[in-house]
Amino acid sequence: MKSRSFLISAFLLALTSGAGAQSVGRMLQDDFTNAGKDILGVWGSPFHASQRDWLLSVAALGAFSASMLADQEVSDWAIRNDSSTFFRGIKPVRRGGWLFSGKYVVPPVAAAYVVGVAIRNQDIRDAVTGCMSAWGAQSAVRKVTYALLGRARPDTMPDDPQNWKVPGGGWMMRSFPAGHFANAMACATFWNKRFDLGAAGPLVYAFAATVGVGRLADRAHWTSDTVLGGILGYAVGKEVAKRSLHRDRERERAGAQAFVAPDVTGITLGLRWSF
């Protein structure tokens, strides 16, 4: 309760602080407008893809196809070792774990954004909205795929990795591609590409990987679904990070305004920074 009161107070303080500083309304407008543009930018990226991009797409499909050879064996291994120390250790990110459900993840993320607005910190706000954009962009792609092409989950057809359906079906036919892993990889990639995380960078990727591996033991996805979900999340997170970095550089250029001021003894040259 105390932490909630602090966040509310900080947000109200931001609403009434400092003339000349960017208003809360403008920050919200800019952040969510940019988030929408990022999502549309990801969806439109195939129309602007280079030859290298298409070659990478072909390579991704090749990796997906090759990993299908291991679908049954890896699924059987994960199921056999479901009660091992490793799989029990990553229980929080697995089905039923407290990090699996959005109701435990969204509130602290929303609180971080409120703090970012309250202290007018662009990086904190970008960390939240960038992850949100990456999630929204790849989530829409997955849902269209689920509607068009269904694949039975391992807990539905444990001995048949190649049970496909056109068009797709309900929840039990939504194995392809792996959604939770795509979400985690999209955010992990955005944060790594957008910010200098240092030693924490590999840890963020490792956390995302545990989500993907955990879903194998949950019998929710085949190995190839996980491979493609990871590739999708990485590609989307990287694209959103590129767009966010471009805006950050534009803000830096706009903030450093060269000026020339007359002086009693001559001319004074300098830089004026706007925050």
Instruction: Write the pLDDT tens digit of every residue in 114-164.
Output: 999 999 999 999 999 999 999 999 999 999 999 999 999 999 999 999 999
Q: For the residues 203-232, what does the mean pLDDT come to?
A: 96
**Whole-number pLDDT of residue 249:** 94
Task: Tell me: pLDDT of 5 over 60.
Answer: no
Q: Where are the beta strands (DSSP E) in 49-208?
A: 150-151, 164-165
pLDDT at residue 173 in the model: 95
Per-chain mean pLDDT for the chain: 87
**Confidence (pLDDT) at 229:** 97
pLDDT higher than 90, residue 180: yes
Whole-angstrom CA distances from 1 to 7, 54, 75, 114 are: 10, 51, 44, 16
Q: If pLDDT is split at 50, 70 and 90, which confidence band does 268 have?
A: very low
Residue 22 pLDDT level (bands cut at 50, 70, 90): confident
For residue 42, is pLDDT > 60?
A: yes
pLDDT, residue 205, reads 97
Question: Does residue 243 surpass a pLDDT of 50?
Answer: yes
- Cα–Cα distance for residue pair 180/214, rounded to 1 Å: 10
Tell me how far apart the alpha carbons of residues 184 and 135 are, in angstroms, rounded to a whole number.
8
Rounded to whole angstroms, the Cα distance separating 146 from 192 reads 28
Percentage of the chain beyond pLDDT 90 is 76
- Whether the predicted pLDDT of 185 surpasses 60: yes
Whether 258 shows a pLDDT value over 60: the answer reads no
pLDDT at 257: 57
- Look up residue 150 and give its two tokens: 């269904």
Decide if pLDDT at 53 tops 60.
yes
| Measured distance CA(243)–CA(227) in Å, rounded | 25
57-81: per-residue pLDDT in tens? 999 999 999 999 999 999 999 999 9
Pair of tokens at residue 232: 């999708």
Q: Residue 99's pLDDT band (boundaries 50, 70, 90)?
A: confident
Residue 172 reports pLDDT greater than 60: yes
Please give the residue that has the higher pLDDT: either 197 or 255: 197
pLDDT, average across residues 241-251? 95
| Residue 161 pLDDT | 96
Q: Smallest Cα–Cα separation from 141: which of 27, 232, 217?
A: 232
